[in-house]
Amino acid sequence: MIELLLVGIGTGNPEHLTFQAVRALNSADLILIPRKGPDKADLAELRRSICAEVVTNPTVRIVEFDVPVRRREDPDYLRGVDDWHDAIAQVWSTRIHAELGSSGIVALLVWGDPALYDSTHRIAARLSPPPRVRAIPGITSIQALCASHAIPLNEINAPFLVTTGRRLRENGWPASVDTLVVMLDGDCTFQYLALPGITIWWGAYLGMPAEKIIAGPLAETGPLIIATRAAERSRHGWIMDIYLLRREQAVGGK
């Protein structure tokens, strides 16, 4: 049987790896590293660097593969993602079978934690025959953002909500919550919020040498974040960012 290790590696800093993650990588027969095209070559290189630093078992094989491109023109977002996941699962199956046959341990290095806004579990469920899946938790971009800004994630006895830019744009600020963590927002949806008294804490490339963080009142800081994000994305060819928003009620202290 194939055992699939989904290893959370944090946000790009090798020091984010837990001892459990290091042991898991060294227990693998095969580590698969995805390539997402020349614009995102840094992501593959970061995975290579992590392996070079922590993988000491000489029997571990490291193999790279090209990730299928998602058809973003599909008007049905969920169907497009579903088809994309099928294509990725097929590539995984082909590489695993070619390298290991029907038995062995294969590891994938997953940004952040495999359980939070990541599709690795869903892709793994499409493999046939189904492997035994084991997940190794990792530091999330939410934790890294709060650590970089030295802020708490929630206020005293108050909830927070993790959502996406798409949901915030379509549904607006959710009721009964004053703290939002927004992920996967390529459109900087915060700029369309008309609510007063919002503070934003933004971060990009968290945990990496290129890390950028900005914080302040949204009305004043928003334009700076938009300009910085555009410049950094142009410089690197890609960007991974996240931000936390708090309305005045929470900022004033609960």
| Topology (CATH level 3) of domain 2-139 | Cobalt-precorrin-4 Transmethylase; domain 1 (3.40.1010)
Quick check: do 2-139 and 142-251 share a fold? no
pTM: 0.88
Which residues share a beta bridge with 132? 3
DSSP string, 41-84: HHHHHHHHHHHHHH---TT-EEEEEEPPPP-TT-S-HHHHHHHH
As its CATH architecture, domain 142-251 has 2-Layer Sandwich (3.30)
Residue 83's contacts (CB-CB under 8 Å, 6 or more residues apart) are 71, 74
Cα 22 from Cα 16, distance rounded (Å): 10
Q: For residue 82, which phi and psi values (nearest 5 degrees)? A: -60, -45
Query: Per residue of the chain (254 residues), what is the pLDDT tens digit?
Result: 999 999 999 998 889 999 999 999 999 999 999 998 777 778 888 899 999 999 999 999 999 999 998 877 777 888 889 999 999 999 999 999 999 999 999 999 999 999 999 999 999 999 999 999 999 999 999 999 999 999 999 999 999 999 999 999 999 999 989 999 999 999 999 999 988 899 999 999 999 999 999 999 999 999 999 999 999 999 998 999 999 999 986 444 44
Domain spans of the chain, in order of start: 2-139, 142-251
